[in-house]
Structure 1
């Protein structure tokens, strides 16, 4: 049964984390910043029979590396600070009368400037409405023009859906059915659009037994998506977690499919300079070793009551350095 599988996966992750406690323990403020140890790499899972390459999929060990732009900065202005364009630009849209045009325009600009677009939209109606085809014209109004752009687009319908489940037409089954509808329509209308369902890490946390992650999985999608954060902040003093220690708790559920990281983040610690910058470097190194094909840093303080995720100068410097690496994939 699925819950039994969850316990098995949780125990496996817990054993790995316990054996390498330093990978998710925050160093003391007096310790010098150093490379955060990562869990030993495990064998990759056998790919699901439904798993397949997608348009623009990078070579093994390469990935699209980018971020969302802080709301108070211009994209071009921030890229000038970084010294190079982002390889991926993450942006968000809400259903309104201009949404389709805005979303398509954003993707057109990104592709023209060497960025892979990763765009999100909330559903126009309930998830059940979209799944049943009652919002096909709305979905087609984005997919058809995106398909004419001639480049790969990562397209997410209602990221982190767990926060909004519960009302009629808004169950996990409705959400997964909506994703399948989008996958089918994209295949017909826009083969270069990659439907990327994005979930929260919290859903897969091995300490939880009140949620069945299997209900949220979409094996028909060409990629699996996840948002991953180190929860520590100066305000909450929660456990410092490495990106890799959190991903190790999830990989078994995705059965070897390529993974997109829709959001990830870490807060800077003024008492331990350089630690968060190293967290960013370690996250990229882990991603390159574990079938992660894109990652977008959430460079913003929006909806972050326990502290901003916006990069400090040292974090931005580390990010900018990684962005110039030869393993960074870019649209062609």
Structure 2
């Protein structure tokens, strides 16, 4: 367990296979204050075609362009800027809200999107909307990742077929009512990166569980949710994606998590564009072009041959994004991936000029868009 702070619940550290140390929040909320208006689709909604939405992509420099976000919280003139901040060690007991505020002071700007992880328990880990989330959501957007797990030691993985059967309905309904009472629109993703999971069930069972949760919310009249469908983004899993997709009527945003692993995985060095664009292009070519994209996690390791490479990687983000206009939000993963593993990767904003480059990128008009 990770110790809580005054006025905050004690929240368990999620123990996923990637052991990313997800806790309370990640810096960067997508707190979308409009009515989502998600409508239930039909069984077997197709993935082919452009999708059911039109993603606005007005150039930010366009004179007179209306850059106010759409009903689905899509910024027409650029993208939202966010970050995940790793939880502080237990002994430091730094409140999440303060950790995010401290980072924003360093960056010289507010983060648009804040990421919170939840399990499917009745504890503080599974509670929507927590006190810290209410505070963060006052002037940021909230993205809530709902994992089909019960965190603890040992961690318990829930089967998708059990969720679809209705066995979790009491919990689902409680959470739906809490979000409804919260009032502001939030983004909710169910069991992200399901494409690399083998113990939770089949793609058909995942789709059934996702739809079941969505439909429970709709039955209870919860209209302030935007639904996020998130895969790893690694092209080795691309043959699974369509079978895991619930259909356009059930998804408002699609999401994936690209990383420049480089030395920590023995991979070749890639620029930001080379890291992100292959999966972006796959989505555009395979029937997802009508959906806005949120990069839920991204980061880069170092290049030992070039100490300035990591800073240059971040400095080039705004220009690269302009060539991928359907990406409407992105959250940098400011943490160590698999910290307890010899293959762990350090994606923190550390190294020569790295923080300065990230600050510079965050000042670009393209990633400074009006919130709802």
Instruction: Give the TM-score normalised by the residue count of structure 2.
Output: 0.66
The question of whether the paired residues in 2 share the 8 Å contact of 1:143 and 1:193 is answered with no
Query: 281, 299, 310: which is aligned to 1:248?
Result: 281
Deviation at 1:49, TM superposition (A): 3.5
Residue deviations 1:29-69, cap 9 Å, x none? Answer: xxxxxxxxxxxxxxxx9621477897452332322210111
Deviation at 1:291, TM superposition (A): 0.9
**Cα 1:163–1:155 shift into 2, 3 Å:** same
Structure 1 runs not aligned, ≥5 long: 1-44
The question of whether the paired residues in 2 share the 8 Å contact of 1:119 and 1:156 is answered with yes
The question of whether the paired residues in 2 share the 8 Å contact of 1:103 and 1:119 is answered with no
Deviation at 1:315, TM superposition (A): 2.8
In structure 1, the residue corresponding to 2:231 is in which secondary structure?
strand
Query: 307, 311, 314: which is aligned to 1:277?
Result: 311
The question of whether the paired residues in 1 share the 8 Å contact of 2:337 and 2:346 is answered with yes
Measure the CA separation in 1 of the matches of 2:281 and 2:172: 34
Measure the CA separation in 1 of the matches of 2:159 and 2:54: 28
In structure 2, the residue corresponding to 1:263 is in which secondary structure?
strand
Measure the CA separation in 1 of the matches of 2:358 and 2:184: 25
Measure the CA separation in 2 of the matches of 1:100 and 1:118: 14
**Cα 1:258–1:189 shift into 2, 3 Å:** same
Q: Is 2:101 the counterpart of 1:76?
A: yes
Structure 2 runs not aligned, ≥5 long: 1-47, 57-69, 89-93, 150-157
**Cα 1:94–1:186 shift into 2, 3 Å:** same
Number of the residue aligned with 1:47 = 50
In structure 2, the residue corresponding to 1:200 is in which secondary structure?
coil
Residue deviations 1:84-130, cap 9 Å, x none? Answer: 22111122222332234365334312211x22111212125321222
In structure 1, the residue corresponding to 2:171 is in which secondary structure?
helix
- Please provide the CA RMSD for this pair: 2.8
Q: Is 2:63 the counterpart of 1:63?
A: no
Q: Is 2:253 the counterpart of 1:215?
A: no
Number of the residue aligned with 1:108 = 134
Number of the residue aligned with 1:307 = 345
Deviation at 1:163, TM superposition (A): 3.2
**Cα 1:189–1:282 shift into 2, 3 Å:** farther
Number of the residue aligned with 1:21 = none
The question of whether the paired residues in 1 share the 8 Å contact of 2:269 and 2:303 is answered with no
Measure the CA separation in 2 of the matches of 1:324 and 1:140: 41
Give the count of matched residue pairs. 280
**Cα 1:301–1:256 shift into 2, 3 Å:** same
Q: How does 1:1-332 map to 2 (within 5 A)?
A: 47-49=50-52, 55-72=71-88, 74-96=99-121, 97-101=123-127, 103-112=129-138, 114-123=139-148, 125-167=158-200, 170-187=201-218, 188-202=220-234, 204-205=235-236, 211-219=239-247, 220-233=250-263, 235-241=264-270, 242-246=274-278, 247-253=280-286, 254-288=288-322, 289-303=324-338, 305-312=343-350, 314-327=353-366, 328-332=368-372
Instruction: Give the TM-score normalised by the residue count of structure 1.
Output: 0.74
In structure 2, the residue corresponding to 1:65 is in which secondary structure?
strand
Measure the CA separation in 1 of the matches of 2:222 and 2:359: 32
